[in-house]
Amino acid sequence: MPIHMAPPSSSFILTTLFAALCVTSNYGKDAPPTKTKNHHKDPVIHSATDIENAIDRGVAFLLKDQNITGSWGSPHNSKGLNIYAPNPIASHKAYRAAVTAMCVSALIESGHPAKSPEALKALERGEAWLMEELPKVRRATPDVMYNVWAHSYGIQALVHMHKRAKAADQKEKIKDIEQLILNQIDRLQRYESIDGGWGYYDFRAGTKRPASSSISFTTATTLVALHEAKQIGIAVPDKLVNRAIKSIGRQRKNDNSYLYGEYLKMRPLYGINRPAGSLGRSQACNIALRYWGDKTITDEVLVTWLERLRDRNGWLSIGRKRPVPHESWFAIAGYFFYFGHYYASLCVEDLPPEKSTALKNDLAHIILSLQEKDGDWWDFPLYNYHRQYGTAFSIMTLSRCLP
């Protein structure tokens, strides 16, 4: 069914950007002083069965929700204040490609395709859609680059697909996947910010090489994907990686909290840039730097921020399901919730067993307690993409929490 969307008024665009860029004084305010309580003195110990049952329900939701084309997500379910999406066809192509890639990764990590014909069929349809449509994803307009998310999560899904194809000795498929990964890396080179790293808006100049500010967590997302590509033998340009690492380094503070973006470098104590505001970002930035050899991201750094995520989870959760980006304390937006926990699970996975066992249980406890009645998870109303990406993040998080 064709979707007809009226062009946004100037006031609508300003309102959307106002929220999305966190420029109001209220969004930058810190929370009032409060005492943090430790709710984990007597943690509930979750069994493998508890976690597997939740993953089963999440996978069942994805199978039921898959589009007839093999993709996941759609532009439906708009609300009064929608995320800015000019050139709707291109913007939503990027959204759908990113979400579909995440769902493909989640299905593979769940292990269900190996034991369920229905899950295998859904996976094969999702993979076919990605192979066909991912090369078509482009920058929507000079000021919007949601395609960066599609390229990054697309690479992660393709790496998972590559491993499956290699296990099945599918030589032609392996070659096709590798070529598409290189294609996505080329796109990331094209849309790299002028100072290195990646952002998703360019409100400065709208130039061919984006003049946008590097955004810490966007750059971290891409670095994680590029690391996974390198692990299967894909040539990743050193210059591209090094510039991205430096961009995160410029946003890194002494306590391993990270600025939202380089455009806020002159406001390091602005609410969103303080440790509580970085709660959903530090996990991604820490693991990205560690993957690429930063020895200062020690086990102690990972554990400190994982414990902080656990103990201060309520702060992050206050923003969950709120319809306006960054309206919560410390300018936390709802969409940081499952994002932050997914990258936290990568941090846990990178720790030795003696340091990770309790943290796995902590993560599982948070995610299990928030599963919806339909088996999905969601944190921010984003057209019809939120239940799919929230569920994909949660399945991938829980898969790393199994004892």
Supply the pLDDT for residue 246: 98
Q: Averaged over 156-176, what is the pLDDT?
A: 98
Supply the pLDDT for residue 40: 53
**Cβ-contact 388, 337 below 8 angstroms:** no
Token digits for 218? 């966007």
Supply the pLDDT for residue 80: 82
What does pLDDT average to over the chain? Answer: 91
**Cβ-contact 261, 238 below 8 angstroms:** no
Write down the residue that tokens 């070659």 correspond to: 175
Smallest CA-to-CA distance from 363 within 394, 320, 334, 326 is with: 394
Could you give the CA distance from residue 191 to residue 374 in angstroms, rounded to a whole number?
A: 38
Residue 146 zone, left/alpha/beta (φ > 0; ψ -120 to 50; rest): alpha
The 8-class DSSP code of residue 8 comes to: P
Q: Averaged over 171-182, what is the pLDDT?
A: 98
Supply the pLDDT for residue 16: 42
Which phi and psi (to 5°) does residue 282 adopt? -60, -35
Supply the pLDDT for residue 100: 98
318-333 pLDDT, tens digit each = 999 999 999 999 999 9
Q: Is the pLDDT of residue 42 over 90?
A: no
Supply the pLDDT for residue 22: 39
Token digits for 47? 């069994």
Q: Is the pLDDT of residue 314 over 90?
A: yes
Supply the pLDDT for residue 14: 38
- Give strand pairing partners of 123: none
Supply the pLDDT for residue 36: 35
Supply the pLDDT for residue 284: 98
Q: Is the pLDDT of residue 240 over 50?
A: yes
Could you give the CA distance from residue 329 to residue 319 in angstroms, rounded to a whole number?
A: 8
Give the pLDDT band of residue 43 (cuts 50, 70, 90).
confident
Q: Averaged over 352-370, what is the pLDDT?
A: 97
63-119 pLDDT, tens digit each = 999 999 999 999 999 888 899 999 999 999 999 999 999 999 999 999 999 999 999
195-218 pLDDT, tens digit each = 999 999 999 999 999 998 999 999
Smallest CA-to-CA distance from 394 within 73, 49, 56 is with: 56
The 8-class DSSP code of residue 23 comes to: -
**Cβ-contact 140, 159 below 8 angstroms:** no
Give the pLDDT band of residue 19 (cuts 50, 70, 90).
very low
Token digits for 386? 């939120």
The 8-class DSSP code of residue 113 comes to: G
Smallest CA-to-CA distance from 84 within 383, 366, 392 is with: 383
Q: Averaged over 252-280, what is the pLDDT?
A: 96
* SS3 state of residue 67: coil
Token digits for 44? 């509930």
Could you give the CA distance from residue 196 to residue 242 in angstroms, rounded to a whole number?
A: 8
String of b and e for 80-105 (b: at least 16 CB within 10 Å)? Answer: ebbbbbeeeebbbbbbbbbbbbbbbb
What is the domain class of 44-399 according to CATH? mainly alpha
Supply the pLDDT for residue 23: 37
Distances (CA, A) of 376 to 62, 125, 190, 254, 354: 8, 20, 35, 37, 31
Percent of the chain's residues with pLDDT above 70: 90
Crossing angle of helices 353-368/386-399, nearest 10°? 150
DSSP string, 110-151: HTGGGT-HHHHHHHHHHHHHHHHHGGG----BTTB-THHHHH
Rounded CA Rg of the chain: 20
Residues in the chain: 403
